[in-house]
Amino acid sequence: MKTHVALPVSQRLSQARRRSLVLALAGGAALASMSARAQPAPGKGDILIGRSTALSGGMAPFLAPIHEGQDAAVEDANAKGGIGGRKIRLVTLDDGFDPRRTLENARQLSEKEGVLALLGVSGTSQVMALLPYLVQAKLPLISVYTGSPAIRAQQHPYLFTTRASYADELVKIVRNLVAVQTSRIAVAYENNDFGKLLLPLVEKTIAAEGATLAGSHAIAPTGADANDAAKALAAQKPQAVLLVAAGPPVVAYVRANRAHLGVPVYTLSLGAGSAVLKALGDDARGLAVARTGPSPTKPTIALTRDFQASMKRHDKPVDYDRYTGYMDARVLIEGLRAAGPGVTRASLVQAMEGLGNLDLGGYSYQFSPQNHHGSNYVDIAVVGSGGVYRQ
């Protein structure tokens, strides 16, 4: 087993912020003053929303369903007249899941395309790279696909999240394990900023909930060394494994766990999307996942019924990933509606802060000037036969 020496969480977050600042300043400070040509006239033309995301590379298949959910919500809103007659248009650039390209794309979207806001950036390193630039450009970012505590260490004036943090998810997972007398927990974590920044928080949560850390082991982002990790953790005799990873390493580790441990695997919300389940096939059965939204298959609330009807119109499957994208785009749309057809970057920020208790139809968010993190809802779902979640 590899030995991990953890720095204090505060020191790790400080290092992450310094790294993001270096990335943000790369290319010169001359971009502090944006071209007037990039700013659309208030109340005229399409409302442009930027989206920098992985359209290529290993993470692309895992993010594609989220994009489809976002697209569906935007198309539905436009079909109903948009925002005071103005259409919403998503302007999408490929970043290949590379933080430097994410920052470059944000600059292009802001300064050349003149977008009003960004939607749905994925990845801890990607979001961290953007935070200083968002202040520089006064550019709102609505919804991110990372629950990292690094981006929540201090409230950011232009960042609004729509999902529970990983801290919320970890507490739910560990409490669930302790409740069923599974208290000896091992941790397999992705060997990048995402995994390394979370490991101390995982260790702290396990201790705080009265469980025992059996051991921890890193996994390469490709998952190539998943068997080594599973074998090393097996020697520690854990009762369960908490997997902190996303995309390809999840597929590799779950299979390795079956081969070498055979104990339950719990993972975070972004760890087991539809592409992961499809890749795993029958090997996904029994995987427990923290979910940060309601079930997409149970039409017990109006929001879920709206989502299911939208997927039917757009001929897309009903699943958690598409529901995630759909819900997050709905939050953006409500912010735009509150700001009105003459929406600007500044008025969108003000409108988001003024949403208060936002009920989308049986599922609510809370936003205010003091709170930009709209939800802390977490549930646990287990994958059953056929890759279908059962609550």
Three-state secondary structure readout of 332-390 = HHHHHHHHCCCCCHHHHHHHHHCCEEEECCCCEEEEECCECECCCCCEEEEECHHHCEE
275 contacts: CB under 8 Å, gap ≥ 6: 61, 62, 64, 65, 321
Predicted pLDDT of residue 197: 86
| Residues constituting the chain | 391
| AA identity, residue 141 | L
Whole-number pLDDT of residue 275: 87
For the sheet with 117-122, list strands across it: 88-94, 47-53, 117-122, 141-145, 159-160
- Please, are residues 322 and 68 in contact by the beta-carbon 8 Å criterion? yes
Residue 188 class from Cβ within 10 Å (0-12 exposed, 13-18 middle, 19+ buried)? Answer: buried
**Whole-prediction pTM value?**
0.84
* pLDDT attached to residue 39: 54
In angstroms, the Cα distances linking 224 to 160, 203, 256 are 35, 24, 10
What is the rounded distance in angstroms from the CA atom of residue 371 to the CA atom of residue 137? Answer: 21
Q: Six-digit token pair at 153? A: 């260490």
Confidence at residue 22, expressed as pLDDT on a 0 to 100 scale: 43
What whole-number distance in Å separates Cα of residue 266 and Cα of residue 187? Answer: 10
Locus of tokens 């975070």: 268
d(CA 248, CA 256): 13
The amino acid at 321: D
Report the pLDDT value the prediction gives residue 5, as an integer from 0 to 100: 37
The tens-digit pLDDT sequence of the chain (391 residues) is 433 434 444 444 445 444 444 444 444 444 444 443 455 556 679 999 999 999 999 899 989 999 999 999 999 999 999 999 999 999 999 999 999 999 999 999 999 999 999 999 999 899 999 999 999 999 999 999 999 888 988 999 999 999 999 999 999 999 999 999 999 999 999 999 889 989 999 999 999 999 999 999 999 999 999 999 999 999 999 999 999 998 899 999 999 999 999 999 999 998 888 889 999 999 999 999 999 999 999 999 999 999 999 999 999 999 999 999 999 999 999 999 999 999 999 999 999 999 999 999 999 999 999 999 999 999 999 999 877 887 6
240 strand-pairing partners: 185
Closest CA to 204 of 390, 2, 6, 21: 6
